[in-house]
Every structure is written in C-alpha cells, then in structure tokens.
Amino acid sequence: MTTPFRDDASLTPPPGCPAHGLGAHGLGADGLRRLYGPEAEADPAALYEKLRAEHGEVAPVLLHGDLPAWLILGHSANLTAMRTPSRFSRDSRRWTAFQEGLVTPDSPLMPVIAWQPLCVFADGAEHKRLRGAVTDGLNRFDRRGIRRYVTRFADQLIQDFGPAGEAELVAQFAEHLPMLVMTHVVGMPEEYGPRLVAAARDLMKGTETAIASNDYVVATLRRMMERKRVAPGADLVSWLMQHEAGLTDDEVLEHLRVVLLAANETTVNLIADTLKMVLTDRRFRAHLSGGHMTLPDALDQVLWDSAPMSLVAGRWATGDTELGGQQIKAGDMLLLGLAAGNVDPVVRPDLSKPLHGNRAHLAFGGGPHECPGQDMGRAIAETGIDILLTRLPDLQLAIPEGELTWTSAWLSRHLVELPVRFTPRAKPAGGAALAVGAVPTTPPPPPPTVAPAMPVAPPVTATVPRQRRSWWSVLTGPFRR
Ligand code: HEM
C-alpha cells in the first residue's frame, strides 16, 4: 500500500527515543498509535485527544494486524467524508490492504469490513436500491405503534425483576428491550424474542459460541421468510420481500440481519448510558428537574457525549485527495470518528455546556448512509427509560459511581453493569414473564405446513403514561434548591 504514513519522518521516533519498542504500549513499529490493544481500549477518549494534539483533524493510526488507516477526529472533516461519496466510498473492496493481500481471513476486522452485497457497502444507484427497500419498510411503522410495543416489553422486563427490589439494568433491561421490539418489527412471534436476544448478545460479544448464535439468527430469519411468503403480514420481512426494488432472497435475509444487529447494539448502549447519566449526574438531573431538559434532549446529550458507536469503519478514498490537512491516497481506509468528532473543540469549546435540542452530533452518521433507524432507536430508548423510571420512581444506583466499569473495543464502548435498587414492586397477577438470558442451542421450530396468521398487532395492555415528569421529580428531589 502506498501509504503516506511511512514516509512521514516526523512520526518516526528518532534512534534512542523511548517510543522505539513501545509496541506493547500502543505504538506500532513506525511510532503510529494503535487503535487496538490494552492501552487503546483502556481509555479511547484519551487516545483520540492525544491523536488530535499530534495530528489535528485527521490522524494516521494502526488497526488490528498493524494495518494503516486514517482516523477522522474533526467534526467538519467527518461530515465531509460522510457527505462526499464521490471521494469517500463505502466499498471496502477498494482498500489497498485487501488488494495487497494484507488482511488475513481470520482478521478481527473481517466481520466488519469484508464486503457484502448490502446497502452498508454500496454506493450510488445500488445503494439507493437496497437502502430504499429498508427505509420504505421502516417508514411504514408508525411511532405510536412502536411506543406501544416498547411499553409492553419494558413492562414485562420490569415485572420479572420488580419483586426483587434490585436489578442489574444492563443485563436485565437495556440488553433486552431493543431486540424484543425488533422481533415485532421483523414480524416474529414474541416467543422468539428472548432466544434471539441471547443469540444477538452472544454474537456481538464474539464468544466461542458466536458462530452457532449467528447460525441461529440466520436460520430463524430464513424460517420467517418461508412463513411470510405463504402468509405476508404488516412487518419488515414481508415488506422487504414485496418491495419493488426486487431484492433477492439472500439480499432480504442479509438486510434483515443487518437491521437486527445495527438496531440492537447501538440502542442497548444508548439506553444503558442514558440510565447511567440519569442515576449519577447531578447536573443532568438538575437540568431535568428545572424543566430545561426533556427526555429527548437528554438522549441527545448522551448521543453527543457517549456516541453508541465510537467509530464507523469506514470509508475508502476513490482517488488521491486531501482531508483535514492530510494527503490521502486512493484506496486508503478512513474511520469516521463519531465520538471524537462530537467533542471537537471547534464545535464544543466548553464540554460542560449543555446542548439542549442540538442534534448536530455525529452519532447517527450523515450523508447518504445516515442511520435510517434513528427515529426507531430514539423511540425505543426514550419510551423504555420513561416506563422504567415511572414504574420504579425511587430507582437508585446500588454501588458507588466510581465502581462502574466499561469495556471498549475499537468500534464501541459498553457499560458493563448498572446495579440498582428500588422499592420492590409486586408482580401483577397473570403478568407474562420473559425467559431472558439463555443462549439458544437448538434451531427454532419449523414453520407449520399451513402458516397461521401472524400476530400483526397483538392486544396491548399497558399504556404510555401521560404524566412524564413524575419520576424526574422523585429522582431529582434531593438536588433541588
Ligand atoms: C441509538 C440507536 C442507533 C444509533 C446510534 C445508530 C447509528 C448508526 C450509524 C453511526 C450508522 C452508520 C452511518 C454511516 O455510515 O454514515 C448506522 C447505519 C445504519 N443503521 Fe443505525 N443506529 C441506531 C439505531 C438503528 C435502528 C433502530 C435501526 C433499524 C431499525 C438501524 C439501522 C441501520 C442501518 C440499516 C444502517 C445502514 C444504513 C446505510 O448504510 O445506508 N439503526 N446507524
């Protein structure tokens, strides 16, 4: 690869410099910083600031296997890369490292950047065709309908742990809610939900059972497609299969998989980080109690401060070009630094200043690939948090804030646990339980020969509460002047 990185003498430590041999401490042989490994993963935000100080808006970095890439740190440079597909393509096959055979099949980068016939990797007319089918399908769901499902599933989760008076909200709430809602979006019977949640979690965590879990997700989706071919419903599977874009069966299946996984990981992080902020940040609570900040504003503050995806990998230069003062070569890979761009001092000179109602953050990307599920993600997070705090108004963190921990990988950062306590809440008589947590080992049951009518709109028992400020009042009581 003709990368400019290696020609830049200023980046190479001089002989005798302690940076030599610092591979184990986050530097590659050329003195370039690694985006992977213990140092990078211990504190990604600090690493981004070091890179910003050293290189400005766009920094050369090393990915797994010490493969070079550019990390975009500037808010404006990120927008340029997102909004100029003629210069920055989504097609990973352009990467020089691929063309030179430097990416091994077992590289941890492969699941994210190996090209597939998906909207995510397409540009131009092909992107429009594939994405059009997905967005048309998602746009057919009305917000109020989604909110009713969120309410229903949130209530079921709360019923499961409510009587205990304590819970761990990442594993028992945040990690379940988005996928349960997505099973409805896709058109699956509800009983698939908990097993699919377990499979998706397992898949994303990259455990030794990840391949089996992926097979489970694919087998489940395939069976759903068989059912919907016979008995279409008001759901994404049916709408993708019927769409005028004429998606092949494989394209339908792969886009369903992408939607499920894209929706799950990100929305889980948004829910967990917003709950953490609600429970720990005095300033945040004070703004809410003062009526200056609504829950949607609060979500945007979290989307600025803790983007659910720190990085998007990536964009690939279509020709030699310049970005943020760096000379980019054709075929170079660029990573959208969403978390870094969101704290760019050019747009946020004072990070402590609240950003009420400001949606100019990068958390949903931008340009032609901007997240098509953002309204749904927001609706799931907002309604789920509202229901949780309404049902458990005296919710409190059960451990000191300093004991909360995160795990980071190059693309995102996850809160590990959020233990809470609250006044125990009796389980309503007849409340349906969700068997959460088990990793599925068997494939889903085969569809019946004559598919039954799918439950398009099951009856909803819970309603979204009208009084939205009640739980804020209780939570923020101690902080009122
Ligand atoms: C808080 C929740 C979410 C966040 C933060 C988020 C973030 C993102 C980001 C950063 C991208 C990449 C944009 C780019 O490359 O410029 C993306 C793409 C995508 N997201 Fe989301 N997302 C969320 C929820 C969802 C949901 C709920 C769905 C589906 C219902 C969804 C479906 C997709 C799809 C299909 C793409 C690929 C779009 C394309 O390449 O054209 N996302 N999302």
Alpha helices in 187-248 (DSSP H): 193-205, 210-230, 236-242
Q: What is the pLDDT of residue 105?
A: 86
Q: Tell me the mean pLDDT in the region 280-294.
A: 72
pLDDT over 90 (residue 67): yes
Q: Per residue in 203-233, is it b (16+ CB within 10 Å) or e — as a string? A: bbeeeebeebbbebbbbbbbbbbebbeeebb
Beta bridge partners of 397: 420
d(CA 221, CA 450) in angstroms, rounded, equals: 18
372 lines ligand 1 (CB under 6 A): yes
> What pLDDT, in 10s, does the model give residues 161-181?
999 999 999 999 999 999 999
CB 259 less than 6 A from any atom of ligand 1 = yes
- The model's pLDDT over 359-398, given as tens digits with 9 standing for 90+, comes to 999 999 999 999 999 999 999 999 999 999 999 988 999 9
Does the pLDDT of residue 462 top 80, yes or no? no
Q: Which of 46-50, 191-195, 428-432 is predicted most confidently?
A: 46-50
- In this prediction, residue 19 carries a pLDDT of 36
pLDDT tens per residue, range 388-424 = 999 998 899 999 999 999 998 888 899 999 999 999 9
Residue from 146, 364, 380 whose mutation best tests the ligand 1 pocket (most atoms within 8 A of CB): 364
Do residues 35 and 48 make contact, with C-beta atoms less than 8 angstroms apart? no
| d(CA 356, ligand 1 centre) in Å | 22
pTM score, whole prediction: 0.86
Pocket flag, ligand 1, residue 266 (CB < 6 Å): yes
- With a 6 Å cutoff on the Cβ, whether 82 touches ligand 1 is yes
Q: Is 297 buried (19+), middle (13-18) or exposed (0-12) by CB count in 10 A? A: middle
* The pLDDT of residue 298: 86
Mean pLDDT for the stretch of residues 234-259: 95
137 lines ligand 1 (CB under 6 A): no
Residue 157 CB less than 6 A away from ligand 1: no
Distance, in Å, from the CA atom of 341 to the CA atom of 20, rounded to the nearest integer, reads 30
Pocket of ligand 1 contains residue 370 by CB under 6 Å: yes
Using DSSP's 3-state secondary structure scheme, residue 292 falls into coil
| Mean pLDDT, range 73-98, rounded to an integer | 98
Ligand 1 pocket, 384 CB below 6 A?
no
Name which of 87-96, 97-106, 198-207, 346-355 the model is least confident about. 198-207
User: What does the pLDDT read at residue 154?
Assistant: 97
Distance 266 CA to ligand 1 centre (A): 8
Residues 409 and 41: beta-carbon distance below 8 Å: yes
Burial of 364 (0-12, 13-18, 19+ CB in 10 A): buried
* Distant-in-sequence contacts of 105-111, Cβ < 8 A, 24+ apart: 107/64, 107/65, 108/36, 108/64, 109/63, 109/64, 109/65, 109/67, 109/313
β-strand pairing of 333-337 with 67-72:
parallel
202: exposed, middle or buried (Cβ count in 10 Å: 0-12, 13-18, 19+): buried
The Cα-based distances of 176 to 26, 225, 302, 371 in angstroms read 35, 23, 20, 21
What average pLDDT score do residues 420-449 get? 61
Pocket residue to mutate for ligand 1, from 269, 371, 385, most atoms within 8 A of Cβ: 371
Q: For residue range 188-208, what is the model confidence (pLDDT) as tens digits?
A: 887 787 888 888 777 766 667
Torsion, Cα of 114, 55, 33, 326 (10° steps): 40
Distance 287 CA to ligand 1 centre (A): 29
pLDDT of residue 479: 26
For residues 425 and 162, the answer to whether their CB atoms sit within 8 Å is yes
Neighbours of 479 (CB within 10 A): 15
Which strand (E) or helix (H) includes residue 40? helix 38-42
Residue type, 120: V
Q: What mean pLDDT comes out for the span 25-46?
A: 87
Domains and CATH numbers, the chain: 1-115+310-362 (3.30.43.20), 124-309+373-479 (1.10.630.10)
**Does residue 9 or residue 267 have the better pLDDT?**
267
Given a cut of 70, is residue 447 above it in pLDDT?
A: no
Q: What is the CA radius of gyration of the chain?
A: 23
Residue of minimum CA distance from atom 18 in ligand 1: 371
